[in-house]
Amino acid sequence: MGRKRRAYLLTFFVAYMVVDLLEVSGYISPRSLIDHSYAIISKR
């Protein structure tokens, strides 16, 4: 169980890093990022 949780955290961290890089590069805006995050969370 703990291992699966760690995998989730790692996946979330990697996704956060990629999104952060995209945001800094100017590909996406913070507003669309927030909306996308809410969509993912609500889907779960």
pLDDT in tens, 5-40: 899 999 999 988 888 887 777 766 667 777 777 887
- Domain-wise residue ranges, the chain: 2-43
Give the pLDDT score at 10: 93
Residue 41 has pLDDT above 90, yes or no: no
Chain centroid offset of residue 16 CA = 4
Residue 23: which residues within 8 A CB-CB, separation 6 or more? 29, 30, 33
Q: What is the DSSP string of 1-44?
A: -HHHHHHHHHHHHHHHHHHHHHHHHTSS-HHHHHHHHHHHHHH-
pLDDT of residue 1: 65
For residue 27, the model assigns a pLDDT of 66
Which of 28-36's residues contact partners 24+ apart within 8 Å by CB, and which partners?
none
> Who wins on pLDDT, 1 or 40?
40
